[in-house]
A and B are shown apart, each in its own frame.
Chain A
Amino acid sequence: DAGVIQSPRHEVTEMGQEVTLRCKPISGHDYLFWYRQTMMRGLELLIYFNNNVPIDDSGMPEDRFSAKMPNASFSTLKIQPSEPRDSAVYFCASSLAQGISSYEQYFGPGTRLTVT
């Protein structure tokens, strides 16, 4: 079975440009999570969805960040306008909603974003 798929794997952009990161969760998973990882702050949860509905976006840094999940198999994280401090690795993860294994999150390979 395919795992969580993210694209692009690497993105280099200039400050002020719009950046869109994409994620396809594992088929059948009900939860989708967006994380950001930096050396300074480690792994931070930005937002998560349950059945395509955003549940908690308290980790989203500011209004420049937005996330959508138009259907069960696709989500986007958009940064507009991007700034150098947004440079990080962004991960998408998914999990099942029910059962003892509902906390087991499965991560994608990440998108390494560099904003110059």
Chain B
Amino acid sequence: GQQLNQSPQSMFIQEGEDVSMNCTSSSIFNTWLWYKQDPGEGPVLLIALYKAGELTSNGRLTAQFGITRKDSFLNISASIPSDVGIYFCAGPNNNAGNMLTFGGGTRLMVKP
């Protein structure tokens, strides 16, 4: 089945640094979604991408839909302590309805 591979699995950075993470797949996706999960909460949708090459921002977050449609990237600029959490990428499960396939997540830790 479809799989989404996220890297890195975890990151420990200093406050103020920029962060980059990515999500890759062996199959093509027509939509990419990025979620953030705070400790003890449910995943929250950050950014949705619908077109190959698309670059979309949400505050300090910027996500890109890879040209090959097999990858996506999320960047966070000038990280702050509240950026701590797990970031998931997701894409439609092409085999079934409105189901999503989720990546394993990137755990971000920010040192003040």
Binding site for B on A (CB under 8 A): 4, 31, 33, 42-43, 45, 48, 50, 55-56, 91, 93, 95, 97, 100-110, 112
B33 touches A103 (CB 8 A): yes
Using Cβ atoms and an 8 Å threshold, which residues of chain A touch B48? 101, 103-104
- Inter-chain CA distance A109–B45, complex, in Å, is 13
The 5 tightest CB contacts between A and B, nearest first, are A107-B42, A43-B102, A107-B43, A110-B42, A109-B42
Mark B38-58 against chain A: 1 for CB-CB distance below 8 A, else 0. 001111110010100000000
- Nearest chain B residue, comparing its CB with the CB of A50: B97
Binding site for A on B (CB under 8 A): 31, 33, 35, 40-45, 48, 50, 88, 90-92, 96-100, 102, 104-105
Interface centre among B33, B45, B48 (most CB of A within 10 A): B45
> Given known contacts A104-B33, A105-B45, is B99 in contact with A43 (CB within 8 Å)?
no
> Given known contacts A42-B105, A43-B88, is B98 in contact with A102 (CB within 8 Å)?
yes
Using Cβ atoms and an 8 Å threshold, which residues of chain A touch B96? 56
A55 touches B92 (CB 8 A): no
